[in-house]
Amino acid sequence: KAGVTQTPRYLIKTRGQQVTLSCSPISGHRSVSWYQQTPGQGLQFLFEYFSETQRNKGNFPGRFSGRQFSNSRSEMNVSTLELGDSALYLCASTKGSSGGRETQYFGPGTRLLVL
């Protein structure tokens, strides 16, 4: 079974721009969670989508948004980029039916650099 895939793997943007990252979950998984990893703050939960609906949300400003499509692929968007948005963005997938009982499987991440 193919694992979680994320595109692009690397991205360079300038302040004020917006960016869209994509995540395709493991086949059969319907839940996608997004995390931001920075050296200062570590790994922080952004949000989780299931069946095209956001079910859980972390403590991030409204510039961070996401969506999920009917095939379970998910995108996250960051508008009006700031230098502090430079990070590794990881997504993880699960079947989505048993909450914390399910193990989350991660993709390779998208490294975003904001100049």
Partner 1 sequence: AQTVTQSQPEMSVQEAETVTLSCTYDTSESDYYLFWYKQPPSRQMILVIRQEAYKQQNATENRFSVNFQKAAKSFSLKISDSQLGDAAMYFCAFIDGGSNYKLTFGKGTLLTVNP
One-letter amino acid at 104 equals Q
Could you say whether residue 48 binds partner 1 (CB under 8 A)? yes
Q: ∠73-78-82 over CA atoms, to 5°?
A: 150
22: Cβ contacts below 8 Å, ≥ 6 apart: 6, 7, 73, 74, 75
Could you say whether residue 104 binds partner 1 (CB under 8 A)? yes
Which of 42, 53, 62, 70 is close enough to bind partner 1 by CB under 8 A? 42
HSE-CB of 74 using CA atoms within 13 angstroms: 32
Residues from 3 through 32 that contact partner 1 (CB under 8 A): 31
Q: ∠15-52-109 over CA atoms, to 5°?
A: 45
Which residue's CB is nearer to partner 1, number 62 or number 100?
100
User: Minimum CB separation from partner 1 for residue 81, in Å?
Assistant: 20
Which positions lie near partner 1, rule CB under 8 A? 31, 33, 35, 42-43, 45, 48, 55-56, 58, 88, 90, 92, 94, 96, 99-101, 103-109, 111
